[in-house]
Amino acid sequence: MSLIRWEPFRDLISLREAMDQLFEESFVRPWGTLTRWEGPAVDMYETDNAVVVKAAIPGVGPKDVEISVTGDTLTIRGEVKKEEKVKEENYIRRERYYGSFCRSFLLPTKVVADDAEAVFEHGVLTLTLPKAEEVKPKTIKVKAKK
């Protein structure tokens, strides 16, 4: 068991930050949560042989997506293009996002980017990145000594 040093002002600082955020979201930019888009929602999981990434990017064609792996960083870039010609004043509600996006993720292990496979189906990009041989689990057989 480890001891944690008590810092009485640590909670006050986080309370102040929370109040600043509440004030900013309520008065400075009340619709801020609707206007910010960080990019597609992503699921990433690991199997014995690969790292699999699934990104939801509806309205984007395979030609509008760029995927790159540099070192241990995966980057997904793309652009959601406007299709409709609707006048701004005719909108009743507008929640879909348009424009370019870029998301980067640290990969949990070394991968072989040259052997990666990307499949785009029903607005979901599935990227399978095979693990490098040196990080794949190895089985060692135990022999009994005679």
Residues 108, 130 share a domain: yes
Range of 20's domain? 8-37
Residues 15, 78 share a domain: no
- The answer to whether position 146 is within a domain reads no
- Express each pLDDT in 17-40 by its tens digit: 777 777 776 665 555 444 556 778
Which band of pLDDT confidence, cut at 50, 70 and 90, is reported for residue 1? low
Residues 66, 130 share a domain: yes
- The answer to whether position 121 is within a domain reads yes
| DSSP conformation letters of the chain | -------TTHHHHHHHHHHHHHHIIIII-TTHHHH-----EEEEEE-SSEEEEEEE-TT--GGGEEEEEETTEEEEEEEEPP-----GGG-S------EEEEEEEE-SS-B-GGG-EEEEETTEEEEEEEBPGGGS----------
Number of domains present in the structure of the chain: 2
pLDDT at 80 over 90: no
pTM of the model: 0.65
Residues 31, 18 share a domain: yes
- The answer to whether position 143 is within a domain reads no
- The answer to whether position 51 is within a domain reads yes
pLDDT at 2 over 70: no
Average pLDDT over residues 31-57: 81
- The answer to whether position 57 is within a domain reads yes
